[in-house]
């Protein structure tokens, strides 16, 4: 039973990640490859505040969101001028730079050895110690993030973001400040992914830079592309699908050494098949160009 | 609004006048592309409620001027003064260095939109994934819900959104689109798209509206509707209009306009409409004139009514009366989404024959030509080229078998020069070669020049499919185009032209 709860906690975490990435890709038309780095910033800031400064879970996760949101300027400012492939390359460089920082700033992050002993969340004196209660917490966060995203996407702000995605020049001609829209979208998406990073750090109690590599960014991207972008349900379907794949492989009695590679192979194949057969994803409504 | 008045030379009347009702003025605008001066020392004034027709030959700089006056392009030199709704703005070029450093103090389209300057694009630029209603509603300025914090924390912003949606819906209903409010913008007819684009610009609070070919591609009824709407705008809201229009539709715009701006050799001259006394040779510009000239020389004109208000008018010389069929379409059924656009249509064209298919927008003219060219899939029916069935072969093979297709709203390759476009095609005789700068990149060409280039690079073929071929062409180019295709007919080529029904 614990195994199921473990999977559901991961599902909650990845739903938050996929929803935040969908805001950028599906609604903003901005293909971001540095999402795992901001996930890492959320995890590290939460962990450091809790372990080194003894902060509580809530203040730590709020500050980590703010830090991640502010650091989103590394990608949102270049997005003012760079588009398409150039922006992808730029976000890739931000991903590599942040990963290198986590790996090499050993005084702060303990480098490749990571941070151990991250305490479990305590809210109003209640300690989320067992897996069931952590699942309850992660689900509450997923629902909260889902509600925030739902309201935003249905609001005039979400509509203006879609207009920018469809035709930035026409949107500007209607008085939409697309620079501000990009800053806001990146701030919200990076702050939200930092929440999932904080949840992840307190759940696994140990983090190191290998959890926030480019591979992780590509996994997040795959979730959004396979599930479908441009609507609310697509990323949820994507997270569910990509969390399920390795678990299905596990039950197929494939040796561990092969299973890891087979999983990557299946992700790759799925991306190619989706691009040809259903470019808008399993449940999406917008085709990323 | 400030009561300050200044004395300024008015280029229209040539005398001095107060600028209190001038909403936009420019002084000494200059713009050059790669050494070629497009606009040279342009000065102009626009008054509240004035309607201006901006005209000029292809490549004379109409779109460049529109781009500058709407903040989409910075001039090399000059000044722009805006005085709408009491706010005064002056933009000077070249900009002082310190203004370059401020990312929010730019001469940008969004900044000018906030000042009340709107634009209707020639290619419309609607948001294709949104409904018509969303396209209009998104345009409203100063919506509280466009601030994400406000949208999250104050659901009461919804009341404002409801009002905005109602106003957008009313605007669309007024333009005859009450049944299309929830239609996706890329699934409605071109004329309907045009009306949505106009409604969107007004919803954005435009007080000075620049319209790039608002009537092109519209059929007779749609032209009447749009003209009526433009009249209401000018009368009711004191909106200032600057209209660039195709030579065909200039007489219609002249009925509405107060002033005519003419661009020639980089210079702008302004006249009152009553000073414009030239005869509009629109009859000579009509494609039917081409049919008549063939019929007069030796032949006949036939006219056939097609379903849903369409008409196929055709002519061919008598000596080809018994000649073989060049293009045959039999029982063609074509769907667009779940809607059947072409239902069991049959038509045949013989060698040396020209046919003009005129139909209201939304009839499926472009879909029909796309289906014949193999770009759009068909449900059932047969398409034959010189007796050989081509229904199931891909487009490139149809082209090899002797089909040539000029698509409506097609664009050129932005990064390739005119010369490179010509090398890509297997065409040999370039109709407009002399009027195009062969080193210009596709993205720098004006709308009319792009159309000329597309006609020039049409592959030589036995059967030509032309969708609104004269869109954007100036008078001289239209005469040249007609002469060229008349020669092709003499050489036994077959031509099918689609255009909206104007008469």
Tell me the range of B6-20, B172-186, B425-439, B453-467 where mean pLDDT is highest: B453-467
B495 three-class SS = strand
The overall longest dimension of chain B from CA atoms, in Å, is 78
| Residue A166 burial (10 A CB sphere; 0-12, 13-18, 19+) | buried
Query: Inter-chain contact B130–A159, Cβ cutoff 8 Å?
Result: yes
DSSP H or E segment with residue B190: helix B190-203
| Residue B356 burial (10 A CB sphere; 0-12, 13-18, 19+) | buried
Which of the two residues, B409 and B97, has the higher pLDDT score?
A: B97
Which of the two residues, B444 and B502, has the higher pLDDT score?
A: B444
Rg (CA), chain B: 25
Give which of B70, B108, B109 to mutate to test A binding, by max A Cβ within 10 Å: B109
Residue A68 has pLDDT above 70, yes or no: yes
Whether B1-116+249-279 shares its CATH topology with B283-500 is answered yes
In this complex, is the C-beta atom of B87 within 8 Å of any C-beta atom belonging to chain A? no
Mean pLDDT of A227-238: 88
Chain B 106-125, CB below 8 Å of chain A: which residues?
A: 108-110, 113-114, 118-119, 121, 125
- Phi first, then psi, for residue A273 (nearest 5°) are -65, -45
Q: In angstroms, how far is CA B236 from the centroid of its own chain?
A: 26
Output the DSSP codes for A74-143: HHHTGGGT--HHHHHHHHHHHHHHHHHHHHH-HHHH-GGG-B--PPPPEETTEE--SHHHHHHHHHHHHH
Question: Across the interface, which of B129, B145, B204 has its CB nearest the CB of A157?
Answer: B145
Tell me the range of A8-17, B79-88, B153-162 where mean pLDDT is highest: A8-17
Strand order in the sheet with B117-120: B117-120, B208-212, B240-244, B51-56, B259-264, B267-272
**DSSP letter at B417?**
B
- Alpha-carbon gap, residue A266 to A278, rounded angstroms: 16
Looking at chain B, the whole-number percentage of residues with pLDDT higher than 70 is: 89
Residue B4's pLDDT band (boundaries 50, 70, 90)? Answer: very low
Do B148 and A188 meet the contact criterion of CB atoms below 8 Å apart?
yes
| CA neighbours closer than 13 Å in the CB half-sphere of residue B461 | 29
Residue A287's pLDDT band (boundaries 50, 70, 90)? Answer: low
Residue A286: its pLDDT value, please? Answer: 67
Residue B139: its pLDDT value, please? Answer: 94
Q: What is the pLDDT of residues A134-184, one digit of tens each?
A: 999 999 999 999 999 999 999 999 999 999 999 999 999 999 999 999 999
Q: Which CATH topology does B1-116+249-279 take? A: Rossmann fold (3.40.50)
Residue B1 has pLDDT above 60, yes or no: no
Residue B122 has pLDDT above 90, yes or no: no
Mean of all residue pLDDT scores within chain A: 91
Give which of B145, B168, B184, B185 to mutate to test A binding, by max A Cβ within 10 Å: B145
In this complex, is the C-beta atom of B479 within 8 Å of any C-beta atom belonging to chain A? no
- Alpha-carbon gap, residue B187 to B181, rounded angstroms: 12
Do B268 and B262 meet the contact criterion of CB atoms below 8 Å apart?
yes
Residue B156 has pLDDT above 70, yes or no: no
Chain A residues near residue B114 by CB distance under 8 angstroms: 175
Residue B284 has pLDDT above 70, yes or no: no
Chain A residues near residue B143 by CB distance under 8 angstroms: 156
Lowest mean pLDDT among A149-163, B276-290, B346-360, B366-380: B276-290
ipTM: 0.85
Chain A with chain B: Cβ pairs closer than 8 A: 102
Lowest mean pLDDT among A64-73, A228-237, A241-250: A241-250
Query: Inter-chain contact A169–B143, Cβ cutoff 8 Å?
Result: no
Which residues are registered as beta bridge partners of B333? B380
Q: Which candidate, B442, B428, B433, B440, places its Cα nearest to that of B480?
A: B433
Q: Which candidate, B56, B448, B53, B479, places its Cα nearest to that of B281?
A: B479
Mean pLDDT of B192-203: 89
Tell me the range of A99-103, B19-23, B140-144, B365-369 where mean pLDDT is highest: A99-103
Residue B321: its pLDDT value, please? Answer: 64
Residue B356 has pLDDT above 80, yes or no: yes
For residue B125, give every residue at least 6 positions away whose Cβ sits within 8 Å of its Cβ, in sequence order, or none.
Answer: A167, A169, A170, A173, B197
A282 three-class SS = coil
Q: Which residues of B198-210 are buried (b: 16+ CB within 10 A; e: fewer)?
A: bbbbbbbbbbbbb
Rg (CA), chain A: 18
Residue A103 has pLDDT above 90, yes or no: yes
Q: What is the pLDDT of residues B459-485, one digit of tens each?
A: 888 999 999 888 888 888 888 888 888
Residue B3 has pLDDT above 50, yes or no: no
The tokens 């957008």 sit on which residue?
A: B168
Residue B104: its pLDDT value, please? Answer: 66
Residue B318 has pLDDT above 70, yes or no: no
Do A126 and A236 meet the contact criterion of CB atoms below 8 Å apart?
no
CATH superfamily of B283-500: P-loop containing nucleotide triphosphate hydrolases (3.40.50.300)
Mean of all residue pLDDT scores within chain B: 84
Residue B439: its pLDDT value, please? Answer: 85
Lowest mean pLDDT among A35-39, B56-60, B257-261: B56-60
Q: Which two tokens mark A114?
A: 């990571």
Residue B375: its pLDDT value, please? Answer: 92
Residue B283 has pLDDT above 50, yes or no: yes
**Domain boundary assignment for chain B:** 1-116+249-279, 283-500
For residue B428, give every residue at least 6 positions away whose Cβ sits within 8 Å of its Cβ, in sequence order, or none.
Answer: B460
- Alpha-carbon gap, residue B372 to B381, rounded angstroms: 11
Residue B490 has pLDDT above 50, yes or no: yes
pTM of the full structure? 0.81
Residue A73: its pLDDT value, please? Answer: 95
A253 three-class SS = coil
Q: What is the pLDDT of residues A28-48, one digit of tens each?
A: 999 999 999 999 999 999 999
In this complex, is the C-beta atom of B126 within 8 Å of any C-beta atom belonging to chain A? yes
Residue B17: its pLDDT value, please? Answer: 41
């Amino acid at each position: 039973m614990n195994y199921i709860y473990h999977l559901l906690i991961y599902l909650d975490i990845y739903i938050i990640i996929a929803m935040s990435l969908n805001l950028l890709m599906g609604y903003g038309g901005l293909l971001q490859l540095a999402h795992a780095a901001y996930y890492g910033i959320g995890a590290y800031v939460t962990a450091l505040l809790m372990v080194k400064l003894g902060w509580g879970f809530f203040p730590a996760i709020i500050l980590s969101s703010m830090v991640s949101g502010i650091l989103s300027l590394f990608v949102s400012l270049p997005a003012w001028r760079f588009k398409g492939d150039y922006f992808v390359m730029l976000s890739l460089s931000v991903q590599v730079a942040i990963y290198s920082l986590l790996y090499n700033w050993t005084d702060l992050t303990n480098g490749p050895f990571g941070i151990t002993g991250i305490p479990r969340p305590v809210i109003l004196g209640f300690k989320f110690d067992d897996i069931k209660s952590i699942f309850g917490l992660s689900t509450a966060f997923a629902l909260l993030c889902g509600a925030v995203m739902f309201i935003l996407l249905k609001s005039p702000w979400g509509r203006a973001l879609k207009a920018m995605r469809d035709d930035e020049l026409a949107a500007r001609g209607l008085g939409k400040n697309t620079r501000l829209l990009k800053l806001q979208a990146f701030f919200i998406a990076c702050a939200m992914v930092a929440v999932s990073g904080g949840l992840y750090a307190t759940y696994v109690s140990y983090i190191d830079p290998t959890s926030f590599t480019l591979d992780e960014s590509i996994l997040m991207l795959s979730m959004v592309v396979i599930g479908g972008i441009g609507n609310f349900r697509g990323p949820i379907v994507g997270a569910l699908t990509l969390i399920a794949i390795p678990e299905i492989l596990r039950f197929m009695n494939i040796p561990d050494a092969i299973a890891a590679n087979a999983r990557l192979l299946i992700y790759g194949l799925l991306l190619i098949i989706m691009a040809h057969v259903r470019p808008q994803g399993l449940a999406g409504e917008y085709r990323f160009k | 609004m400030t009561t300050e008045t200044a004395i300024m030379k008015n280029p229209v009347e040539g005398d001095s006048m107060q600028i209190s009702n001038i909403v936009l003025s420019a002084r000494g605008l200059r713009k050059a592309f790669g050494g070629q001066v497009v606009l040279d020392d342009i000065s102009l004034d626009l008054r509240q409620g004035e309607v201006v027709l901006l005209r000029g030959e292809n490549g004379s700089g109409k779109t460049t001027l529109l781009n500058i006056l709407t903040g989409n392009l910075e001039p090399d030199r000059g000044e722009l003064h805006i005085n709408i709704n009491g706010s005064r703005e002056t933009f000077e070029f070249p900009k002082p260095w310190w203004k370059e450093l401020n990312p929010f103090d730019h001469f940008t389209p969004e900044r000018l939109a906030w000042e009340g300057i709107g634009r209707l694009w020639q290619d419309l630029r609607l948001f294709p994934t949104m409904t018509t209603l969303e396209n209009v509603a998104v345009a409203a300025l100063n919506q509280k819900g466009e601030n994400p914090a406000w949208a999250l924390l104050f659901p009461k912003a919804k009341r404002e959104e409801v009002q905005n949606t109602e106003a957008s819906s009313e605007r669309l209903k007024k333009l005859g689109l009450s049944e299309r409010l929830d239609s996706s913008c890329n699934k409605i007819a071109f004329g309907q798209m045009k009306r949505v684009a106009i409604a969107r610009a007004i919803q954005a609070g435009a007080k000075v509206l620049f319209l790039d070919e608002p009537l092109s591609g519209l059929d007779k009824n749609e032209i009447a509707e749009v003209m009526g709407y433009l009249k209401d705008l000018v009368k009711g809201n004191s909106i200032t209009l600057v209209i660039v229009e195709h030579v065909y539709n200039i007489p219609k715009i002249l009925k509405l306009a107060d002033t005519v701006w003419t661009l020639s050799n980089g210079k702008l001259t302004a006249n009152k409409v009553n000073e414009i006394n030239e005869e509009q040779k629109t009859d000579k510009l009509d494609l039917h004139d081409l049919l008549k000239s063939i019929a007069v020389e030796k032949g006949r004109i036939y006219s056939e009514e097609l379903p849903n208000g369409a008409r196929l008018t055709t002519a061919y010389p008598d000596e080809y009366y018994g000649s073989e069929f060049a293009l045959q379409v039999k029982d063609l059924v074509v769907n667009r989404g779940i809607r059947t656009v072409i239902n069991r249509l049959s038509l045949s064209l013989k060698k040396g024959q020209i046919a003009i298919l005129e139909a209201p927008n939304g009839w499926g003219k472009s879909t029909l030509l796309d289906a014949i060219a193999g770009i759009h899939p068909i449900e059932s029916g047969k398409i034959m080229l010189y007796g050989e069935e081509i229904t199931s072969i891909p487009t490139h093979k149809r082209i090899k078998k002797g089909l040539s297709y000029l698509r409506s709203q097609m664009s050129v390759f932005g990064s390739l020069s005119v010369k490179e476009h010509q090398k890509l095609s297997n065409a040999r005789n370039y109709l407009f070669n002399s009027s195009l700068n062969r080193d210009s990149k596709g993205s720098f060409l004006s709308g009319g020049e792009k159309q000329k280039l597309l006609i020039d690079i049409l592959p030589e073929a036995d059967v030509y499919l032309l969708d609104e071929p004269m869109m954007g062409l100036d008078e001289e180019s239209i005469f040249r185009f007609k002469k060229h295709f008349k020669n092709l007919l003499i050489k036994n080529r077959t031509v099918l032209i689609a255009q909206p029904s104007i008469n």
